[in-house]
Structure 1
Amino acid sequence: MTVPFLLLIPLVAVAVAQIVKFIIGGLRGQLRVKDLLAYGGMPSAHTAFVVSLGTAVGLQEGWDSPAFAVAVVFGLLIIRDAVGLRQLLGEHGRILNMLIVDLPDDIEAKYPHGLLERVGHTPLQATVGGIIGLILGYSLHVWWLG
């Protein structure tokens, strides 16, 4: 497997996760094209990205390789950020949006759409993203070699 394919696997995983997010929105009656590039929501594209990369690197380089260790460490940091810090940022956005409406009109007008409230992921959203990443990381690797 070449390095470009190791780069393509996570990009495919992100695309699939974002398309799933778009479809889920449609099933909920909220079919919005902007969801194809949106932060937050079900499933976590960030988690799909790093899990697919870690899976592909592990399969290619070995589960005891330094490359796999680096992929796991950075993957865990990204997942922790998506579930922890970014979830907290979404809560801050919700609270600040409630406060913005009490500001003078000229200041409130600077935030016509408010602040983003859906920025992070729940543990379930990250888990589903991880499952997508694991399946795609494994199946695309096997497909490429087969």
Structure 2
Amino acid sequence: MAEFMAGIGKNIILMTAITAWFTAQVLKTMTSYWRHGSFNAERLVGAGGMPSSHTALVVSLAVGVALRQGLDSDLFAVAVVLAGIVMYDAAGVRRAAGKQAKVINKLVREMRVEHKVRDTRLKELLGHTPLEVLGGAVHGTLIAYAFYVFYR
């Protein structure tokens, strides 16, 4: 088991991606605090917010592979396709689902006044704005480049 963990710790591209995700979650928590004036621990693990940690993770993975394996590598192609799917999902499908949840929550609040429906609150912060996705991409790129320079 120790050998397994040591092997994972030596995988620079994996460590790059994990670091990009973790630091983006911390940044997301900090930007939430700055924006709302209160600490929200859910931001450390939750979806949505600035920057997109999902985007930071997959972009750092793709950039890390590009820097270590080259732009013509098969692994880079796989990583870019994965990154594209994740970023599209974050800014498209999940964002639309969050907007729908917001409308449903409003309807439930309005109907509850008439005592016709139980209060069931849906999570509204699911996806990202294009700017949050861009922020995650920039963050992921910078983390991957820093790992490349440091562990070359």
Q: How does 1:11-30 map to 2 (within 5 A)?
A: 11-28=18-35, 29-30=37-38
Q: Offset at 1:30? A: 2.7
Q: Offset at 1:105? A: 5.3
Q: Offset at 1:130? A: 0.4
Question: TM-score, normalized by length of structure 1?
Answer: 0.90
Question: TM-score, normalized by length of structure 2?
Answer: 0.86
Identity level (%): 35
User: In the TM superposition, what whole-angstrom CA distance separates every residue of 1:38-58 from its partner, at most 9, and x where no partner exists?
Assistant: 110111001100110001001
SS of the residue corresponding to residue 108 of structure 1 reads coil
User: In the TM superposition, what whole-angstrom CA distance separates every residue of 1:58-86 from its partner, at most 9, and x where no partner exists?
Assistant: 11111111110010011101000000000
Quick one: distance in 2 between partners of 1:40 and 1:129?
11
Paired AA for residue 105 in structure 2: N
Q: Which runs of 5+ in 2 are unaligned?
A: 1-7
Quick one: distance in 2 between partners of 1:127 and 1:60?
23
Task: Tell me which of 110, 128, 135 is aligned to 1:121.
Answer: 128
The CA RMSD over aligned residues, in Å, is 1.7
| Map of 1:94 onto structure 2 | 102
Q: Offset at 1:5? A: 2.0
Task: Tell me which of 68, 73, 88 is aligned to 2:81.
Answer: 73
